[in-house]
Amino acid sequence: MSSLVSVDNLMIGPFTKFSMDIPLNSLVFVTGSNNSGKSLLLKVFAGLVNVKNKITYDRKIIKSDNDISYMASLTFNYDTVLKNIRYSVERLGYSDEKINVLVRDIAKDLKITNILNKNIKDLNEYEKLRVCLASKVISNPKLLLLDNPCLFLSPLETKEFMGFLEQLRIRGMTIVVSSSLLEEVIYTINSIIYVLDKGKIVSSGEVLDVLSNDSLLNKIGLELPFMVDLSVKLEYYNLVFKINMSPLGMVESLWK
């Protein structure tokens, strides 16, 4: 699988001779405890930190800064939802007709059509997150970087939000999410996880492979999602033979 962006021999903050690749058209989670370097790494990918040519982009795909979208907090330039979303493409010189189509489509995709005319201050946190995401992806960037987006969401909101990200990936976007919570990754199917500890990658791979190593994750201060933790313990006693992400899957495994 080809890489959209690579970091080679990075020397900054907690990172010492650090290297990492982000595969094209992937949904990648960068997780780790506090001070592991995950937020700094996203800034490096975004080109917001001067790292002396240690980062390489596939220039056939990422041709300008407009191809990279970075979201670290819920910030808004205008008071209404519609103005905030339109601003992201108005500054690119798009026609009103094209902007209206783009706004209509992204609002439908993120289920915010009914709040387009609302004031930002009247929205709940999950609505604000979706509006902010809409403003970041309406221009169809090639690389989307999200720093801890689900920190204050409920499990149902997190599951739906991960579904939105998977749809963006299917359409060709490469997405990197930093997260302090492993709960988020259980709602994804085709994601890759990189676990950081003190500026080093201590585990990486597909979701189930990484989550199976509970001793390593616990050692660096990460808690397994409840259902995964239960699966690992039951698997140890040969009561189940695979990790189950959901209660229904667990019941089916135990019944068998």
Averaged pLDDT, 105-125 = 97
Which carries the bigger pLDDT value, residue 74 or residue 186?
Answer: 74
Model pLDDT, residue 183: 78
Q: With pLDDT > 70 as the criterion, what percentage of the chain qualifies?
A: 87
User: Is the model more confident about 233 or about 98?
Assistant: 98
163 falls in which pLDDT band (50, 70, 90)? very high
Task: Reply yes or no on whether the pLDDT at 107 is more than 70.
Answer: yes
Q: Write down the domain spans for the chain.
A: 3-208
pLDDT in tens, 122-158: 999 999 999 999 999 999 999 999 999 998 899 899 9
pLDDT of residue 234: 67
One DSSP character per residue, the chain reads --EEEEEEEEEETTEEEEEEEEETT-EEEEEESTTSSHHHHHHHHHT-S--TT-EEE-TTT--SGGGEEEESS---SSSBHHHHHHHHHHTTT--HHHHHHHHHHHHHHTT-GGGTTSBGGGS-HHHHHHHHHHHHHTT--SEEEEESTTTT--HHHHHHHHHHHHHHHHTT-EEEEEES-GGGGGG-SSEEEEEEETTEEEEEEEHHHHHT-HHHHHHTTPPPPHHHHHHHHHHHTTS-SS--SSHHHHHHHHH-
Which of 11-15, 20-24, 80-84, 211-215 is predicted least confidently? 211-215
Which class would CATH give 3-208?
alpha beta
The pLDDT score that the predictor gives to residue 60 is: 95
- Report the mean per-residue pLDDT for the chain: 88
**Residue 249 confidence (pLDDT):** 60
Confidence category of residue 187, pLDDT binned at 50, 70, 90: confident
**Does the pLDDT value for residue 111 go beyond 90?**
yes
pLDDT band of residue 44 (cuts 50, 70, 90) is very high
